[in-house]
Amino acid sequence: MVSLARLCLALCLGLLATTVQAAFDDDGMVARVLACTACHGKEGRATPSGYFPRIAGKPAGYLYHQLINFRDGRRSYPQMSYLLEHLTDDYLREMAAYFGALDLPYAPPAATSAARALLERGQQLVRHGDASQKIPACAQCHGDALTGVAPFVPGLLGLSRDYVSSQLGAWQAGQRRAQSPDCMARIARQMAPGDVHAVATWLAAQVVPEQSKPAAEFKGKLPIPCGGVAAPAEAGSAR
Partner 1 sequence: MGRAWLVWGAGATLLILLAATALVALNRLDELPLPEREAAAAPASPGLIAQGEYLVRVGNCMSCHTQPGGPAFAGGRAIATPFGSVYAPNLTPDDATGLGRWSAAEFWRAMHNGRSRDGRLLYPAFPYPSYTYITRADSDAIYAFLRSLSPVPLQSPPHVLRFPFNTQWALAGWRALFFRPGTFVQQGTQSAEWNRGAYLVQGLGHCAACHTPRNALGALRTDAQFHGGLIPAQNWYAPALNSGREAAVTAWPVEDVVALLKTGVSLQAGVSGPMAEVVFRSLQYLSDADLRAMAVYLRSLPPQDKPEPPVAKPAADLMERGQDIYRQQCAECHGEQGEGRRGAFPALAGNRAVTLADTTNLVRVLLQGGYQPATAGNPRPHGMPPFAQSLRDEEMAAVLSYIRNAWGNVAPRVDTIDVYRARERRGS
Q: Which residues bind to partner 1, rule: CB under 8 A?
A: 16, 19-20, 23-24, 28, 31-39, 71-74, 78-79, 81-88, 90-91, 94, 235-236, 238
Minimum distance of partner 1 from residue 166's CB (angstroms): 16
**DSSP state, residue 193:** H
Nearer of residues 71 and 161 to partner 1, judged by Cβ? 71
- Report the nearest approach of partner 1 to the CB of residue 238 (Å): 5
- Least Cβ distance, residue 118 to partner 1 (angstroms): 30
Q: Which is nearer to partner 1, 81 or 206 (CB)?
A: 81
CB 209 within 8 A of CB 148: no
- If the CB atoms of residues 82 and 218 are measured against partner 1, the closer one turns out to be 82
Instruction: Tell me the CB-side half-sphere exposure of residue 36, using CA atoms within 13 A.
Output: 20
* In the complex, minimum distance from the CB of residue 94 to partner 1, in angstroms, rounded to a whole number: 7
Nearer to partner 1, 71 or 197 (CB): 71
Please state the closest distance from residue 32 (CB atom) to partner 1, in A.
5
Which amino acid appears at position 210 of this protein? E
Q: Amino acid letter at 162? A: D
Per-position DSSP letters for 54-112, written without gaps between them:
P-TTS-HHHHHHHHHHHHTTSB--HHHHHHHTT--HHHHHHHHHHHHH---PPPPPPP-
Please name which of 21, 56, 59 lies closest in space to residue 41, comparing C-alpha atoms. Answer: 56
Q: Which is nearer to partner 1, 40 or 197 (CB)?
A: 40
